[in-house]
Amino acid sequence: MMAHMSQTAKSRSTGPTPRLIDKMMGYSLPATVISNDNQRTYTLSGAADIAAILHNTPIRYVLDREVTRFCADLACKNADFLQQCLDLVRLPAHQFWVEFDEDERLATLARQTPGRCAQVGGQPQPSPLAGGRFGMMVSANEEETGGTATVCWSRSAKDPHPEVSPAQIEFHLRDRTAPNPGDATNGVAPLANPLPSVSRLNTFANLRIEPGWLRYYKAEAKTPERYAAALSTLSGQMWFDWALLAAFLVSLNIKGGLSQRPVPEAAAISGRRRLIAPHRPAHIEVTASLFGQTQDASRPATDARSGKRLHYVRGHLVRRGGRIFWRSSHLRGDISIAPPGTRTVAMRLQA
C-alpha cells in the first residue's frame, strides 16, 4: 500500500545545488495523499509542518560529503562500537536538525548491502550525483536520554518538493526498546535488520507512525494483513536511519574529530542563490578534521606490548573512559624482536 503524494509548485530560481534545509524553511504546501481508489484526498503532516519547527530550532547541522561518508561507514562497520558508546552521548540541544549528503548515504548502503535497493519513502533513488539530501529533525525527551527523529529528504537537486516520512524514529540512549506485538495497532514496530552488524544497535530504537498517517494507513489497508504489510515496509525503509544518527551523535564526542563552522544567516544569504526558501537560515557546517589528527598523545608511536614484533596498525577509533578519539595509523611493537614484516599480494581474475 503506497501513499500517492500530490504537491504542486514550481521552482522560482536556479542556481547551485540547494541544501535540504533551504527547501524546508520556505516550504508551505500541505502534504496531500490520494486514496487507492482515487475517491478521497487526505491532508497529512509533511514538510510544511517541519518548516514551522525549523524556524525555531536552536542548532542546525549541515554535513559535507566526507562527514556523511564517515558516519555511514561507521554505522555499517562499527555499529557494536557505537552501541557501547551511547552512554557518552549528550544531545547537543533539546531540538536540533542534522542534514546528510544523500548521494554518499546511498553509495555506502550500496556497498554494504549489495543486491538490496536503497529506498527512501518506498521509491528507488535516482542515480548517484543526483544532488539528493537527507535530514532529520531531532527532539529530545524530557530527561534527554532519548527522543524522536523525523526523517526528511529531497530526491534530487532539481526536486523542489521536500518529503517527510510517515513514521518517526523513537530512540533511547540508555536502554533497549522492545515494542510489544500489540503495539503494532498503535503504529509501533521494531526496525528491520537487513545488515547483521546493525541489528544490536537497532534494538535501541523503534518506529512510530505519526497519528494522522496512522489513521490513513488503517483506513486504506482495509485488512489487518495489509496494514501489517505496510508497517513492515516502513520498517524496512527506515532500518538505517537510527544507526546513521547514532554515528553522528557519537562523532560529536570524538576529540578533534569534526570541524564546525557557524554560518550566520546574512552570510548564508549572500553566499548562494535561493531556490525554494526566501532566505538561507543560519546553520553549522560540519567538515571532517578527524583524519588529519595526530595520534593520542598519551601513547607513544611504538611499544613492546606483549613482546610483539614491530607491525603496522591502521587508524581506528578508541574509547578510553569517557573519551573517544581517533588514533591515526602507526607502528606498534618491538623492532628488536624482528624487523617489520612485509608481504606482496598478487591478485588475478579467476578463470
Within 8 A by CB and 6+ apart from 147, the residues are 91, 138, 139, 140, 141, 170, 171
Output the pTM of the full model: 0.72
Within 8 A by CB and 6+ apart from 343, the residues are none
Report the C-alpha gap between 15 and 275 in whole angstroms. 7
pLDDT of residue 121: 41
**Helix, strand or coil, per DSSP, at residue 167:** strand
Residue whose C-alpha cell reads 522492545 in the numeric block: 178
Which long-range contacts (C-beta less than 8 Å, at least 24 apart) are formed by 261-265? 261/285, 261/287
pLDDT of residue 208: 94
Question: Minimal CA–CA distance to 58: which of 275, 267, 262?
Answer: 262
Q: Mean pLDDT in runs of 10 for the chain (351 residues)?
A: 36 56 86 82 89 86 89 90 87 91 88 59 47 91 91 86 93 80 85 87 94 91 91 92 94 72 58 45 61 40 50 65 65 56 47 49
pLDDT of residue 233: 92
pLDDT of residue 329: 52
Report the C-alpha gap between 327 and 290 in whole angstroms. 9
**Helix, strand or coil, per DSSP, at residue 96:** strand
Core vs surface per residue 254-269: b (16+ CB within 10 A) or e: beebbeeeebeeeebb
Question: For residue 189, what is its C-alpha cell?
Answer: 514496530
| Phi, psi of 348, rounded to the nearest 5 degrees | -150, 155
